[in-house]
Structure 1
């Protein structure tokens, strides 16, 4: 369970992956022009540049969405580490120590089953 993170950090991770993927696609597309592969290289460059630009725009959208969610998230103090963390939805994880948090007692995994 160490690989799980808070929802805001998960959105930021996907935004970062799309940014890096889009940049990588653009670099691969540039190889068609740099190594002078003729008309096939130009077609490859245009195709990969277009797909990379779409990935970068998707990344921008995800970062914007994560930022909007972050501004409206509930800030609570983590009972485990004591740091303030943002919570989205009924359950979330601490941004620092990854403890499962819940505002609703019936969704609380730390509550004792009586």
Structure 2
């Protein structure tokens, strides 16, 4: 069974979006404890913390996105950004790399890990 890959930027954005929904669900969970002010307040604050964490993650990926290398995908010919040694096209999920030693090899996200970089250079 083939793995479903997506670009790293999209993965992080999806995580940040899920934090927003988790925050709303936790806040709505606090409504069930209206009689107990302390428990309701704890649920509301936990939901707020999830939403604040989402804002931080969105800011972080925005800053990271400005450092990403922008390339034109050879498959769909749309501009996309690459983070790390290997990444996927945001539009068509074509495996992309800027590392000439990885061209033609099977796509694997492990190429972005530090320990795999050291092994390949030896």
Structure 1 runs (4+) deviating above 3 angstroms are: none
SS class of match (1:32): coil
| Match in the other structure for 1:70 | 65
Counting only pairs closer than 5 Å after superposition, residues 41-80 of structure 1 correspond to structure 2 as 41-80=36-75
| Match in the other structure for 2:6 | 5
SS class of match (1:98): coil
1:21 & 1:3 partners in 2: Cα distance?
24
Q: CA deviation at 1:75?
A: 0.6
| Match in the other structure for 1:30 | 31
Where in structure 2 are there 5+ consecutive unaligned residues?
107-122
RMSD (Å), alpha carbons: 1.7
TM-score, normalising length from structure 2?
0.79
TM-score, normalising length from structure 1?
0.84
SS class of match (1:96): coil
Where in structure 1 are there 5+ consecutive unaligned residues?
none
CA-to-aligned-CA distance 1:13-34 (integer Å, 9 cap, x gap): 000000100011011112222x
Instruction: Report how many aligned residue pairs link the two structures.
Output: 105
- Structure of larger gyration radius: 1
